[in-house]
Amino acid sequence: DRQVQPLYDLVGAAQRVGAGNYAIRVEGRFGTDEIGLLNRAFNRMTQQIEGQTAALVRANLQIDERRAFMEAVLESVTAGVISLDAAGCVRLMNSSAQKLLLGRSDGAPVGQALAEISPQIAAMVAESNDDRSGGGVVQHGVQSERGGELLTLAVKVTANRTGKTITGHVITFEDI
């Protein structure tokens, strides 16, 4: 029992760690024998996991705060702002962009292809993918019709890159 019970205790503690309890520590023998070494190593491991988990939680909270701040900023600007994924689908569209392109601001068409919303701006996105576009930035005036009204938009498309890979685009525009 002196040899087996500490191992059962360690197995039980490992199961609790597997269930998400990273604050668990084993008690008992901490001598120089194998079980003592195993207990100390287990406690060190759970302490490190607990610290790393706390750091990840803090980082996620910071990311959420920054995201909320950026969304508040984007909603307060009068320029239209659209973020696209690498496939050209809408990830984010502020209310100004919705009003200018869709004539409403009751919900961004997240996941929809930009080509379905504005073929002219989608063509600019394709142009920004060309290496000759000057670093992935394209600026043009675009005319668009919305509800019988002709709009002239000053549009800037910027490619987001990770190395040489385009990971998406940010489009800003204003009604001029």
The alpha-helical segments, DSSP class H, found in 19-140 are 34-76, 95-102, 114-117, 119-129
3-class SS of residue 170 = strand
Q: Which residues contact residue 163 at a Cβ distance below 8 angstroms, ignoring those fewer than 6 apart? A: none
* Order of strands across the sheet that contains 165-175: 90-93, 80-85, 165-175, 149-162, 137-146
Q: pTM for the full model?
A: 0.68
Per-residue confidence band for 92, with pLDDT thresholds at 50, 70 and 90: very high
Both tokens of residue 44?
């060190």
pLDDT digits (tens, 9 = 90+) for 3-19: 888 889 999 999 999 99
Expressed in angstroms, the distance from the first to the final Cα of the chain is 83
Q: For residue 81, how far is the Cα from the chain centroid? A: 17
pLDDT digits (tens, 9 = 90+) for 105-151: 788 899 999 999 999 999 889 888 775 555 678 888 888 777 778 88
